[in-house]
A and B are shown apart, each in its own frame.
Chain A
């Protein structure tokens, strides 16, 4: 198990490096820089500004400085746009917001989706089963950018219960809609996967044996069925998390929650290289980290993977 974790962790490093270098090169290749404005700056001034940010050095040196700054001091450099702020301070503001509703969305998606799917499978062909299937079919076409405006229509414009946007220090009224909008489609997918794998497990031979030797249904499910049935769900958690991270961009932009996504889109439109890079790298490392965790949990549940 330990060697598996080490191996898996090492394989994440080149991916992260590639992400950094690729986005770095992409941004340097792009036409127009952060200092190209409508009034062209005098060349000396431009040269001075570029020297200040280190843009006059060869690419390789720039990349090396950038990467070593992140690795040794966790320093993403100054923002090109917001002159008085570093990328770190901007991102840590946004990150605290994204983390809160991202965490709750994940909890809702897994905490509602998984039991719903498992119970639906146990009570196969009951009204609960049909409800779960109905939800998961319907939610396929309700991604976050569709859910968000629909929720605003319902809860803000019609019912007037919840504020239509903003964050306000993370009061619960401001968290509810982002969480529902972000988690719905993943909740549905998780319940669909959990239901079908639980159904498959319940029809397998070892469950029949357990029934034949007279075990009560509750202990058959808890002791024998749950663990193998959860494997496909666990392998979906990685992609689900990635989707939620990506979806947080929509949530931030639509609900003006002030999370990472908003800064990412702002930075992209303003060509704020360092902020954009910083956001991409944070998002990317979260993705990579979580994929890794999902793989490790999977290996822990499934010895075939661990020992291969």
Chain B
């Protein structure tokens, strides 16, 4: 009461002239933490390079992924070795097809399958988990029982049967992989949603009369983003691995298209004929690619999941 008007004005002046202290958002913090993880940053660049290469690279080769070099066919061990002169940078397979072009094509397919399969799994898993967690009670109980039930099914065998029965196609691969990979995501998201839904801001929006679906979409999902991002990056290599597994058995994508798993399978079947390049180049891509995803996933987990630090 006794503070004079002048003094008050001075305070107002000082406060308003002062530069606003720059806040650091959660995401800025996370980016900073991620950048400090060297393996993860390097992996991002390697992976980006790999993706770009897989699209530009085929143009640098005189051979396409399905073209047959008739000089080499049936004599890959003697004539199909990697060389710059013949234009087969990574050598050829038994049929005289260029491994360089096929590896890059396989890279595209494997990454595509990993990404699309993961997208399917993430969409199903997040919606399912968020709904179960938010609604709670008996619905939650039944929904998670269903997840438990699905998880106890040996899905790989059903997937193989599906492939045999309905033929090999990319669409089935996307749908099949996605449909069998969302359960973990649903569990994680549900757990996180359970803790989010008791926060004050949710209470506030309920009090303001916002509908359940809108609350999930506008307030719950954005707060799940961090943990979803982490598990998404870890899901991608898992699905690439599953796809490779199926392709290794000779199912999976249809020739002449190929994938890492299909190439490794071809290479593995022919190693005793003296064509190691047929195995080692695709295998190199596979290993480097998976390592990158794992390192990025680890980096993201350290950056976004403060609990584990």
Contacts and interface: CB of A to CB of B under 8 A. Distances in A.
Interface of A: 12, 14-15, 18-19, 22-23, 26-27, 29-31, 137, 140-143, 145-146, 148-150, 152-153, 156-157, 164, 242, 245-246, 249-250, 253-254, 264-265, 268-269, 271, 276, 279-280, 283-284, 287-288, 291
B240 to A, nearest CB: 10
B261 to A, nearest CB: 7
A98 to B, nearest CB: 14
21 contacts: A22-B158, A26-B161, A30-B166, A31-B165, A31-B166, A140-B294, A141-B287, A141-B291, A145-B264, A149-B264, A149-B267, A156-B272, A245-B154, A246-B156, A246-B157, A253-B248, A264-B157, A265-B249, A269-B164, A284-B153, A288-B152
A137 B43 CA distance: 15
B271 A153 contact: yes
B149 interface: yes
A31 to B, nearest CB: 8
B249 A26 contact: no
A143 B241 contact: yes
A271 B283 CA distance: 32
B277 interface: no
Interface in B238-277: 241, 244-245, 248-250, 261, 264-265, 267-268, 271-272, 276
B276 A153 contact: yes
B15 to A, nearest CB: 45
Residue of B166, B245, B276 most packed against chain A (CB within 10 A)? B245
B178 to A, nearest CB: 18
Interface string B213-248: 000000000000000000000000000010011001
A287 B152 contact: yes
Contacts of B268: 145, 148-149, 152, 254
Given A152-B271, A268-B160, A27 B165 contact: yes
Contact of A284 (B154, B264, B267, B276): B154
A268 B271 contact: no
B179 interface: no
B145 to A, nearest CB: 9
A145 B250 CA distance: 12
Residue of A22, A146, A284 most packed against chain B (CB within 10 A)? A146
A149 B158 CA distance: 26
Contacts of B157: 23, 246, 264, 279-280, 283-284
B279 interface: yes
A145 B251 CA distance: 14
Nearest to A32: B165
Residue of A14, A15, A31 most packed against chain B (CB within 10 A)? A15
B127 interface: no
B153 A15 contact: yes
B152 A146 contact: no
A141 B261 CA distance: 13
Contacts of A288: 152
B283 A146 contact: yes
Given A27-B165, A157-B272, A271-B164, A18 B153 contact: yes
Residue of B156, B158, B161, B264 most packed against chain A (CB within 10 A)? B161
Contacts of B250: 265
Contacts of B149: 14-15, 18
B262 to A, nearest CB: 11
B112 interface: no
A32 B73 CA distance: 34
Contact of A145 (B166, B244, B291, B294): B244
Contacts of B267: 149
A264 to B, nearest CB: 7
A19 B248 CA distance: 24
A141 B153 contact: no
Contacts of B164: 30, 268-269, 271
Given A157-B271, A268-B160, A283-B154, A145 B248 contact: yes
B172 interface: no
Nearest to A243: B156
Nearest to A239: B151
B175 interface: no
B88 to A, nearest CB: 21
Given A27-B161, A27-B165, A253-B249, 16 more contacts: A26-B161, A31-B166, A141-B286, A141-B287, A145-B244, A145-B268, A146-B264, A149-B279, A157-B271, A249-B156, A249-B249, A253-B248, A264-B157, A268-B164, A287-B154, A288-B152
A159 to B, nearest CB: 14
B162 interface: yes
